[in-house]
Amino acid sequence: MTDTLDPNVSGSAAHAEAHGDHPTEKAYWQIFAVLATLTALEVLWSYLGFEGPALVLPLLVMMVVKFALVAGIFMHLKYDLSIINGKYFTILFSFGLVLAIAVYFVVIATFKFQI
């Protein structure tokens, strides 16, 4: 028997341990600063006069990074990896996400959508 299994341990402490080490408050602020900076960069990039892939690809990369930061850190997906069988959950979720995006790209390609 260990101390986390002690019935006197508070729910929040057990919760925190069961879900891995969530970031500190400071880390959340830092992630927000990165997100805000990326948003500003996206807007700046859209005003620089690039066209075609030179405009679209960097915007898509920044969008994906922002998506990953919110899903991984704020939604704790990254930390769910450390729970029991969490890797299976994350793999399952990621597989569904990739599959869904692929299906939508196929649909768009079917209608001859061009960027």
Partner 1 sequence: MTDLATPPEERDVPVESHHTDHDDHGAHHTSLGLSNMKLAMWLFLGSECLLFGALISTFLLSKTRFITELAAGNPNVIEGLLPADQAAALAEQGVRGGFSDLPVIFQEMASERSVEAIFDIPFTSFSSFVLLMSSLCMVLAHKATEDGDYKNQRIWLATTALLGSVFIGGQIYEFTAFSNEGLTFGGSLFGSAFYTLTGFHGVHVTGGIAMLATLLILSFRGKLNSDRAETVELVGLYWHFVDVVWVLIFTIVYLIP
Q: Which residues bind partner 1 (CB under 8 A)?
A: 1-5, 7, 9-12, 14-18, 20, 22, 25, 28-29, 31-32, 35-36, 39-40, 42-43, 45-47, 55-56, 59-60, 62-63, 66-67, 70-71, 74-76, 80, 82-86, 88-89, 93, 96-97, 100-101, 103-104, 107-108, 111, 113-115
Structure tokens at 77: 């997906």
Coil, strand, or helix at residue 75? Answer: coil
Minimum gap (Å) between residue 54 Cβ and partner 1: 12
Minimum gap (Å) between residue 89 Cβ and partner 1: 6
Coil, strand, or helix at residue 49? Answer: coil
CA–CA distance, 73 with 75 (Å, rounded to integer): 6
Minimum gap (Å) between residue 23 Cβ and partner 1: 9
Minimum gap (Å) between residue 103 Cβ and partner 1: 8
Place of tokens 């700046």: 44
Confirm if 42 and 62 have CB atoms less than 8 A apart.
Answer: yes
Confirm if 71 and 63 have CB atoms less than 8 A apart.
Answer: no
